[in-house]
Amino acid sequence: MVNKIPVAVIGAAGIGRIHVREFLAAGAQVVGILGSNPKSTKLRAEELSDEFNLKLRAFCDLKELINSNLQAVSICTPPETHLKILKRVLGSNLYVFCEKPLFWQSGKNKCLMSETLANLMEKAQDRLLVNTSNAWFMEKYKFLTQNYKKPKEFHLKFYTHGHYRKEDIGLDLLPHGLSLLQELGCKGKIEALKVEAKDNEFNCQFIFDGVSCHFDFRENESLPKEFSFIIDGIEVKRIQRFENGQYSVFLVCKLFENGIHQVIDPFRVYIERFVKTVSEGGCFSGLRNDIALNVDLMSYILEPNNRNVE
């Protein structure tokens, strides 16, 4: 049985509400939130308390949060703020659930990024999980088809209503795309990289561990959301439904029985895994290399000197 571990959410607006909801659904005790502005954080804490029937504490700063009686924190602030927060909370022996990307330092060369990443992973002591939850779709696809072979070709289409532009779209969505390839068993280095970045689009092609890969990312509110991938000619498409206030998600593929299969929301899967591990006093040692590789691959793709920008 999962213990009601005390958790605080860092990042009071936007996706922070989803974090509060899913941690509660997973059986955790959400005790408070921390935002960038004390006044707005207090108001947000009151709003969320009313919505979820809680008595959330509005933390004034990170020091106050760390010194409270917590077992874990959830970080859902902008990527450029992650590193500073991670250094503080991981140094306090707290478990951390962090939104992707793990961190980002614009303009830093590969050596500095690698050094920062190595120091951070050492400090984490396997108490860190990053939300690259769309990899769950690949887990489910492999299980349903019993196909665990590494493909020759992989195409990913991911359209969101996000606010990022040009190469920042890559910063937002590459962690998910790369986690799918990692779930397929791809390791090593990226080769033959080509990138095309426009206002609302980020496209890249490359060879990864012998797999020919193509990512088509777009963030545009005027386009319908879409998440689909093609593995050696076999398409798998996500379908989202909202009915009577309930959210459900399905995968559509001609290889499935009846061509469609309902799956658990990937975000909920990752939160539940995190809460279960923390409540049991476990660790995420099996994911250590995957977390580091995901950041390393993303930084390689986003480094202009490593590819052709069209």
Q: What is the CATH number for 149?
A: 3.30.360.10
Tell me what pLDDT residue 201 has: 97
For position 2, what pLDDT does the model report?
A: 61
Q: Return per-residue pLDDT of the chain as tens, 310 residues.
A: 566 899 999 997 889 999 999 999 999 999 999 998 889 999 999 999 999 999 999 998 999 999 999 999 999 999 999 999 999 999 898 999 999 999 987 776 677 788 999 999 999 999 999 999 999 999 999 999 998 899 999 999 999 999 999 999 999 999 999 999 999 999 999 999 999 999 999 999 999 999 999 999 999 999 999 999 999 999 999 999 998 888 999 999 999 999 999 999 999 999 999 999 999 999 999 999 999 999 999 999 998 888 665 5
Task: Answer yes or no: do 154 and 293 share one domain.
Answer: yes
**Residue owning tokens 């400090």:** 123
Cα distances (angstroms) measured from residue 290 to each of 22, 180, 192, 271, 287: 24, 11, 22, 18, 5
Domain boundary among 130, 158, 180: 130
- Same domain (yes/no): 151, 80: no
> What is the pLDDT, as a whole number, of residue 13?
81
Among the candidates 70, 97, 130, a domain finishes at 130
Q: Please provide the size of the chain in residues.
A: 310
Task: Report pTM.
Answer: 0.94
Q: Report if residue 111 sits inside a domain.
A: yes
Based on C-alpha coordinates, what's the Rg of the chain?
A: 19
- Position 282 in a domain: no
CA distance 53 to 27: 14
Tell whether 96 and 228 lie within a shared domain: no
SS3 308: strand
134: which DSSP letter?
T
Helices (H), the chain: 16-25, 38-52, 62-66, 79-90, 110-124, 135-145, 167-183, 266-279, 288-302
Rounded Cα gap, residues 82 and 12, in angstroms: 14
Residue 24 lies in a domain: yes
| 1 found inside a domain | no
Q: What are phi and psi of 272, to 5 degrees?
A: -65, -40
Alpha-carbon distances, residue 9 vs 12, 49, 59, 276 (angstroms): 7, 13, 10, 17
191 neighbors 120 (Cβ within 8 angstroms):
no
Q: Is residue 222 included in any domain, yes or no?
A: yes
260 near 239, Cβ under 8 Å?
yes
Identify any residues that bridge with 217 across adjacent strands, giving them in sequence order: 158, 202
Q: Residue 93 sits in which domain range?
A: 6-130
CATH number at residue 84: 3.40.50.720
Looking at the fold, whether 100 and 237 belong to one and the same domain comes out as no
pLDDT of residue 304: 87
Are 107 and 154 members of one domain?
no
Distance, first Cα to last Cα, the chain? 53
Considering the domain architecture, whether residues 191 and 76 belong to the same structural domain is answered as: no
Work out the angle at residue 26's Cα, subtended by the Cα atoms of residues 61 and 103, and round it to the nearest 5 degrees: 45
Alpha carbon of residue 105 to chain centroid: 17
Distance between CA 232 and CA 238 in Å, rounded?
18
Do 295 and 156 lie in one domain? The reply is yes
